[in-house]
A and B are shown apart, each in its own frame.
Chain A
Amino acid sequence: MLGIIFNRNLQVGLVLVIVMSPTLRSDLNASEKDEVVTFADDIKPILQKYCLKCHGNDDQNADLNLQNYATLLQGGSAGAVVKAGQSGTSVLMQAITNEDDAARMPPESPRLPEEVITLIGKWIDTGLRETSSSKALLAKSTLTFVPGTSANAKPDGPPAMPVDLPEVEVAPTSRNMAILGLAASPWAPLAAASGYKQIRLFNTDTEEEIGHLLFEPGVPYVLKFSQNGAILMAAGGQPGHSGSVVLYDVKTGKVVGRFGDELDTVLAADISPDQKLVAFGGPGRIAKAYSTESGEEVYQIERHTDWVTSIAFSPDGTQIATGDRAGNLYLSSADSGGILLSLDSHKGSVRGLSWRSDSKVVASAGDDGRLIWWNAETGFVAMQSTNGHSPPRPEGFSGKLQSGVLSVQFRKDGGLISSGRDNLVKAWKTSSNQTNSLILEQGIPIRAIVDNSDKKIIIGDTFGNVRFWSHH
Chain B
Amino acid sequence: MNRSMLCFLLLLIISADLLSQQKQLSFANDVMPVFFRAGCNQGTCHGSSRGKDGFVLSLFGFDKQGDYFRLTEEIVGRRINMAVPEESLLLLKATGAVAHTGGQRFKKDSSYYKTLLTWIEQGAKNDKDQIAVPVDITIDPPQMQFDGIEKSAPTKVIARYSDGSLRDVTNLSLFFSNNNNTASISNDGLVSSHAKGDTYVFARFDRFTVGSEVIVLPQDAEYTWLGMDPVNYIDELVFDRLEQLQLNPSQLSNDSEFIRRVYLDLTGAPPSVEQYKQFIANDSPNKRAVLIDELLASEDFTDLWTGLWAESVRLMGGGYTPVATDLKAAESYYQWMHDQVEANRPVNEFVYEQVTASGSNLTDGPTNLYTMLVHSVRFEPKSFAADFSQLFLGVQIQCAECHNHPFDRWTMDDYYGFVSFFTGITRKAGAEPREFYIYNKRNAPPVRHLVDGREMPATVIGGESPIKAGLDSRIALAEWLTAPDNTLFSRNYTNRVWAHFFHRGLVEPVDDMRVSNPPTNGPLLDALSRNFVKNGFDLRALIRDICNSRTYQLSATPNAGNEADDRQFSRSRLRRLRSDVLLDSIIKATEWDRTFRDFPKGTKAIEFYPRTPGDTAGPLWRDDFLKLFGRSSRNTICACETKSEATLSQTLHMAVGNNVQQAVLSGLIPRLMQKKNSPEEIVEELFICCLSRSPTGKELATMKELIGEDHDQKEPYEDILWALINSTEFMTNH
Contacts and interface: CB of A to CB of B under 8 A. Distances in A.
Interface of A: 99, 101-102, 108-110, 171, 173-178, 180, 195-196, 219, 221, 238-241, 263, 265, 283, 306-307, 325, 396-400, 402, 421, 444, 446, 462, 464
B123 to A, nearest CB: 8
B291 interface: no
Contacts of B100: 240
A101 B82 contact: no
Interface string B91-103: 0110000111000
B653 interface: no
B449 interface: yes
A398 B453 contact: yes
Nearest to A406: B76
Contacts of B77: 177-178, 180, 219, 221
A240 B448 contact: no
B451 A239 contact: no
B84 A444 contact: no
Q: Which of A108, A171, A175, A398 has the most CB of B within 10 A?
A: A175
B83 A101 contact: no
Contacts of A110: 445
Interface in B80-120: 81-85, 87, 89, 92-93, 98-100
A265 B76 CA distance: 13
B448 A101 contact: yes
A324 B27 CA distance: 30
Given A108-B423, A177-B82, A397-B452, 12 more contacts: A108-B444, A175-B82, A175-B123, A176-B83, A180-B76, A195-B83, A238-B98, A239-B87, A239-B92, A240-B99, A307-B54, A444-B76
A399 B66 CA distance: 12
28 contacts: A99-B453, A101-B445, A101-B447, A108-B445, A110-B445, A173-B84, A174-B84, A176-B83, A177-B81, A177-B82, A177-B84, A178-B77, A180-B76, A196-B83, A219-B77, A238-B98, A239-B92, A240-B89, A240-B99, A241-B92, A283-B54, A306-B54, A397-B452, A398-B453, A399-B452, A399-B454, A421-B73, A444-B73
A178 to B, nearest CB: 5
Interface in B365-385: 380
Contacts of A108: 423, 444-445
Interface centre among B81, B85, B445, B451 (most CB of A within 10 A): B81
A240 B83 contact: no
Contacts of B83: 173-178, 195-196, 464
Given A196-B83, A240-B89, A325-B54, A462 B76 contact: yes
A461 to B, nearest CB: 9
Which size class do B's interface residues fall under?
A: 20 to 34
B78 interface: yes
B17 interface: no
A399 B69 CA distance: 15
Contacts of A171: 84
A397 B453 contact: yes
A180 B81 CA distance: 12
B140 interface: no
A402 B121 contact: no
Closest 3 CB pairs of A and B: A399-B453, A240-B98, A177-B83
Contacts of B423: 108
Contacts of A396: 455
B87 A238 contact: yes
Nearest to B381: A102
The binding surface of chain A is classed by DSSP as loop
B98 A239 contact: yes
Identify the interface centre among A239, A263, A306, A399: most chain B CB within 10 Å of its CB.
Answer: A239
A189 B448 CA distance: 52
Nearest to A109: B445
A309 B73 CA distance: 15
Contacts of A283: 54
Nearest to B124: A175
Interface in B439-469: 444-445, 447-449, 451-455
B448 A178 contact: no
Interface in B52-69: 54, 69
Nearest to A351: B75
Given A174-B121, A175-B82, A400-B453, A446 B99 contact: no
Given A180-B77, A196-B83, A397-B452, A263 B99 contact: yes
A214 to B, nearest CB: 15
Contacts of B448: 101, 398-399
Nearest to A221: B77
A225 B123 CA distance: 33
A54 B439 CA distance: 22
Contacts of B445: 101, 108-110
Given A174-B83, A176-B83, A178-B76, A239 B89 contact: yes
Contacts of A221: 77
Contact of B451 (A176, A219, A240, A399): A399
A178 B82 contact: yes
A113 to B, nearest CB: 14
Given A99-B453, A173-B83, A265 B78 contact: yes
B106 to A, nearest CB: 16
A74 B448 CA distance: 34
| Best-surrounded residue of B78, B123, B445, B451 (most CB of chain A within 10 A) | B78
A180 B83 CA distance: 12
Contacts of A173: 83-84
Contacts of B93: 240
B417 to A, nearest CB: 15
Contacts of B98: 238-241
B82 A399 contact: no
From B69, B93, B445, residue with most partner A Cβ within 10 Å? B445
B85 A174 contact: yes
Contacts of B84: 171, 173-174, 177, 196
Interface string B132-172: 00000000000000000000000000000000000000000
B458 to A, nearest CB: 15
B702 to A, nearest CB: 67
Contacts of A325: 54
A240 to B, nearest CB: 4
Contacts of B69: 402
A108 B380 CA distance: 12
Contacts of B79: 239
A446 B76 CA distance: 8
Nearest to A241: B98
A175 B82 CA distance: 6
A444 B73 CA distance: 9
Contacts of B54: 283, 306-307, 325
Nearest to A401: B453
Interface string B388-430: 0000000000000000000000000000000000010000000
Nearest to B78: A239
Contacts of A263: 99
Contacts of A306: 54
Which of B77, B81, B423, B451: most chain A CB closer than 10 A? B77
- Among A109, A219, A421, the most chain B Cβ lie within 10 Å of the Cβ of A219
A464 B99 CA distance: 28
Contacts of A240: 89, 92-93, 98-100
Contacts of B73: 402, 421, 444, 462
Nearest to A283: B54
Contacts of B82: 174-178
B508 to A, nearest CB: 35
Contacts of A176: 82-83
A349 B73 CA distance: 13
A15 B423 CA distance: 49
A437 B169 CA distance: 48
A444 B93 CA distance: 26
A400 B78 CA distance: 23
A102 B401 CA distance: 15
Contacts of A446: 76
B412 to A, nearest CB: 13
